[in-house]
Amino acid sequence: MANLFIRITDIISANIGHLVDRVEDPERMIRQVILEMDDHIRRAEAGVLDAITSEKQLAHELEEHRHQSEKWREKAEAALTAGNENLARAALVRKKEHDGTAKNLEGPWETAVDTSKKLKAQLRQLENKLAEARHKRSALIARHRAAEATQHIHKTQKHFQKGLDTGDTFIRMEDRVVEIEARTEAVAELYDESSDLEREIDKLAMDAEVDQEMAELREKVGQDKI
């Protein structure tokens, strides 16, 4: 029982924050520690119940022998009153037997009472420590998550800050965009110029055809007049 309480105390006294720093999954570690503490306390509780049971059994046995002692005293007195001294003496012998047994039980019973009180007090303290650890668990988990979030933000800020400080990535992107825009404008301009030229050529061809037809039409009209 003593070793069990020492083990529980060691767990509760452990620097959980230090343990958290050494594991990859602090939340899982914290929960495992709490579960281990709870398991040990449940076992300690069973031990305390056994100690209390033993105390009660000794108390009951002691009380029974005291009761029998008084009972045989009364019988001895009754026998002596009746004039039967031998029977009274025999009753007193039985009384002394119960007195002796009761006396022998007093020491163990007192020790059991003291042990039960100490174990119950220690168990209450451990249960209070466990309740405190559960509260700390919630706080530690919240702090761990906040720390991870802060670390992630710092890494992200550092990453972006590095990009903003050098400017290489954004400069290259901007240059590429400008190049694409210039190429697009050049293609559009070239297309417009080609379209204008084609329209001019088409217009010249059409004018030539019109002139040809006009010439033919004049020739025909002139012949008709003759």
Per-residue pLDDT tens over the stretch 24-42: 577 787 788 888 888 888 8
CA distance 3 to 9: 10
Spans of all domains in the chain: 2-150, 161-226
Confidence of residue 127 (pLDDT cuts 50, 70, 90): confident
Residue 62 pLDDT greater than 70, yes or no: yes
Q: What is the reported pTM?
A: 0.52
Residue 155: its pLDDT value, please? Answer: 79
DSSP letter at 173 equals: H
Buried b (16+ CB within 10 A) or exposed e, 107-141: eebeebbebbeebeebbeebeebbeebeeebeebe
CA distance 181 to 168: 20
Residue with the bigger pLDDT between 62 and 4: it is 62
